[in-house]
Amino acid sequence: MSRLIVISNRVSAPRADSATGAQGGLAVALAAALRDHKGLWFGWSGEKTEEFTGDIAFHRHGGVTSATIDLEEQDVDEYYNGYANRTLWPLFHYRIDLAEYDRSFAGGYERVNERFADTVGPLIEPDDLVWVHDYHLIPLGQQLRQRGLRNRIGFFLHIPWPPARLMVSLPFHEGLVLSMLAYDVIGFQTEEWLESFRHYVERELGGHCDPDGTIHVGDRSVHAAAYPIGIDYREFETAVASPKARKAFERMRQSAAGRQTIIGVDRLDYSKGLEERFLGYRRFLEEHAECRLKLFLLQIAPPSRGEVDTYEVIRERLDELSGRINGEFAEVDWVPLRYVNQGYGRADLAGFYRAAEIALITPLRDGMNLVAKEYVAAQDPKDPGVLILSRFAGAALQLKDAILVNPYSKEEISDAILQALNMPKAERVRRWRALNENVRREDVVAWRKAFVGALEGAESRSGG
Ligand code: ADQ
């Protein structure tokens, strides 16, 4: 079996007992994929140095070998906080109003991708499969090819691909997309993002797409397909059954004192629709005064990307809005909204999910959304909770038995909460079974096998 070299912006092999829980879905998914493939995970350590040295630190933990480099302060500002999180993240989540275009960001992005190629290149052996992840490293494949690498190289995008009409607002967008033709396989979370990509290629690059997924531009061909990411179902099942999860479950149930819990768990990010969610919940409290004391919303949202101003703004807005909702509706023995700004370990989260009768997961746009899948996996099969999910999350294309809502509509959110509260047990069980079947079958192992299988099947440039 070929070795697998995974390259992503950050490297952090998660542990089931991790107390921070601050890692995103990418980290959780990749550790599972690497554990049984002998390989290497390469990326930025998260550390800043005065000058870039290119020194590589090797570690081994949880069955995964990782190799990391430090970056310069200027790299982090321009590449990570700049081009990745101020330009590409908002644009790819359809928020061109928030996207910032700055020449220094683009320069830093290019420079860091070159630095990645220079440092990881020598670690790659001729038979290795190389798998590059996410929007931070779009041009890395091309950089590696320019250094003579002939291995099979795949790229997976964890976030949405924007419609062509938005994509063209990015200066030098053609160059970025053309660099992707250096890959052998390009993976998207859903058919919807794949369709947008194909449309862009046809419209802006004059390429054409075969029905089998091959994209041709000039003399280059790339295989592009949808590979929906899943959760590590088995690991999550174990986490739910752990004593820690049971303790967390008891803690929640006790503090709920017979009231129904609606749970939301998200990184604090404008793409997650937290403000709209709070407003939808507020609408519910207004419209259904008779239900008020019977439930509460527990929103867990640890801050992320604190160095980017937009995140400070959304944080302040949420602080204000949550305070306003509690001020308006709370009674001496009841608070409608518990807004918690910290992360939790996986076992704790599993217990919280299981204790919640309803999950309210309403991103405005999300590549996939693993929280929705974790909630499903954590339920008691005999008495499962109800999932309310945004129709704009990639996961909605698979989790069709959730109550699907438009996250921008307060009315739809309010109606969905009422529907979930009143849902008969037989219907809850029926819907949950269908959801769980999907989450269990299309797990992270199936995702990895599908992607790596496609990469193995791609024609090698070394002629093998
Ligand atoms: P994220 O935007 O980080 O991921 P998501 O898919 O929901 O979003 O994954 C979040 C992960 O972090 C989950 O495993 C969750 O349990 C964990 N997490 C979130 N909040 C937490 C908290 N308060 N405490 C502890 N853990 C928490 C990106 C894309 C998604 C895509 C994933 C994977 O934006 O669309 O699904 O990558 O491809």
Is 366 an annotated catalytic residue? yes
Please identify which of the residues 37, 93, 133, 158 carries the catalytic annotation. 158
pLDDT value at position 27? 67
145 and 110 belong to one structural domain: yes
> How many domains in the chain?
2
pLDDT > 90: what percent of the chain? 86
Which residues on neighbouring strands pair with residue 40, listed in sequence order? Answer: 5, 65
Is 158 an annotated catalytic residue? yes
HSE-up of residue 329 (Cα within 13 Å, Cβ side): 29
CA of 189 to the centre of ligand 1 (A): 14
Mean pLDDT confidence for 308-318:
92
Q: Is the pLDDT of residue 358 over 70?
A: yes
180 and 243 belong to one structural domain: no
Please identify which of the residues 184, 266, 366, 401 carries the catalytic annotation. 366
pLDDT value at position 31? 73
451 and 392 belong to one structural domain: no
CA of 96 to the centre of ligand 1 (A): 23
CA distances from 377 to 102, 161, 380, 397, 425 (A): 42, 27, 9, 17, 18
pLDDT value at position 447? 93
Residue 411 and residue 283 in contact, taking contact as beta carbons nearer than 8 Å: yes
Q: Which of 95, 272, 370 to mutate to test the pocket of ligand 1 (most atoms within 8 A of CB)?
A: 370
88 and 137 belong to one structural domain: yes
296 and 260 belong to one structural domain: yes
Confidence label for 13 from pLDDT (cuts 50, 70 and 90):
low
- Report the pocket of ligand 1 as residue ranges, CB < 6 Å: 21, 24-26, 28-29, 158-159, 229, 265-267, 300, 302, 343-344, 349, 366-371, 374
CA of 28 to the centre of ligand 1 (A): 8
166 and 270 belong to one structural domain: no
Q: How many residues does the chain have?
A: 464
157 and 192 belong to one structural domain: yes
Range of the domain at 156: 4-230+445-457
> Distance between CA 396 and CA 378 in Å, rounded?
18
Query: Which atom of ligand 1 is closest in space to residue 345's alpha carbon?
Result: 25
pLDDT value at position 459? 73
CA of 398 to the centre of ligand 1 (A): 17
Quick one: which H or E segment has residue 132?
A: strand 129-133
Burial tier of 451 (Cβ tally within 10 Å: 0-12, 13-18, 19+): buried
Q: Considering the domain boundaries, does residue 431 fall inside one?
A: yes
176 and 312 belong to one structural domain: no
pTM of the model: 0.95
Confidence label for 23 from pLDDT (cuts 50, 70 and 90):
low
> Distance between CA 216 and CA 207 in Å, rounded?
5
Q: Considering the domain boundaries, does residue 152 fall inside one?
A: yes
Residue nearest to ligand 1 atom 32, measured at CA: 25
Residue type (1 letter), 8: S
13 and 88 belong to one structural domain: yes
Mean pLDDT confidence for 234-260:
96
Q: Considering the domain boundaries, does residue 463 fall inside one?
A: no
CATH number of the structural domain spanning residue 177: 3.40.50.2000
Q: Is the pLDDT of residue 205 over 80?
A: yes
Q: Cα(first)–Cα(last) distance of the chain, in Å?
A: 14
Query: Which atom of ligand 1 is closest in space to residue 267's alpha carbon?
Result: 20
Residue nearest to ligand 1 atom 19, measured at CA: 266
Q: Is the pLDDT of residue 15 over 70?
A: no
The single residue listed with the structure tokens 């509460």 is 296
Q: Which of 371, 389, 444, 447 to mutate to test the pocket of ligand 1 (most atoms within 8 A of CB)?
A: 371
For the record, the structure tokens of 219 come out as 């003399």
What angle is formed at CA 280 by the lines to CA 275 and CA 281, rounded to 5 degrees?
100
pLDDT value at position 282? 98
CA of 23 to the centre of ligand 1 (A): 7
HSE-up of residue 391 (Cα within 13 Å, Cβ side): 9
Q: Is the pLDDT of residue 10 over 50?
A: yes
User: How many other C-beta atoms lie within 10 A of the C-beta of residue 392?
Assistant: 23
Q: Considering only CA atoms, which of 296, 287, 341, 338 is closest in space to residue 314? A: 341
Query: Which atom of ligand 1 is closest in space to residue 300's alpha carbon?
Result: 23
What are the φ/ψ torsions at residue 168 (nearest 5 degrees)?
Answer: -70, -10
pLDDT per residue as tens digits for the range 25-49? 566 667 766 776 778 999 999 999 9
pLDDT per residue as tens digits for the range 137-188? 999 999 999 999 999 999 999 999 999 999 999 999 999 999 999 999 999 9
Mean pLDDT confidence for 303-310:
86
pLDDT per residue as tens digits for the range 83-127? 999 999 999 999 999 999 999 999 999 999 999 999 999 999 999
pLDDT value at position 325? 98
Residue 342 and residue 302 in contact, taking contact as beta carbons nearer than 8 Å: yes
CA of 286 to the centre of ligand 1 (A): 31
Residue nearest to ligand 1 atom 15, measured at CA: 371
340 and 222 belong to one structural domain: no
Residue predicted with more confidence, 463 or 94: 94
* Mean pLDDT of the chain, nearest integer: 93
What are the φ/ψ torsions at residue 437 (nearest 5 degrees)?
Answer: -60, -45
432 and 451 belong to one structural domain: no
Residues 6+ apart with CB under 8 A from 333: none
Q: Considering the domain boundaries, does residue 93 fall inside one?
A: yes
Query: Which atom of ligand 1 is closest in space to residue 231's alpha carbon?
Result: 14
Q: Considering the domain boundaries, does residue 464 fall inside one?
A: no
pLDDT value at position 309? 87
pLDDT value at position 22? 43
CA of 374 to the centre of ligand 1 (A): 10
For the record, the structure tokens of 13 come out as 């092999």
Q: Considering the domain boundaries, does residue 462 fall inside one?
A: no
452 and 328 belong to one structural domain: no
> Distance between CA 297 and CA 161 in Å, rounded?
31
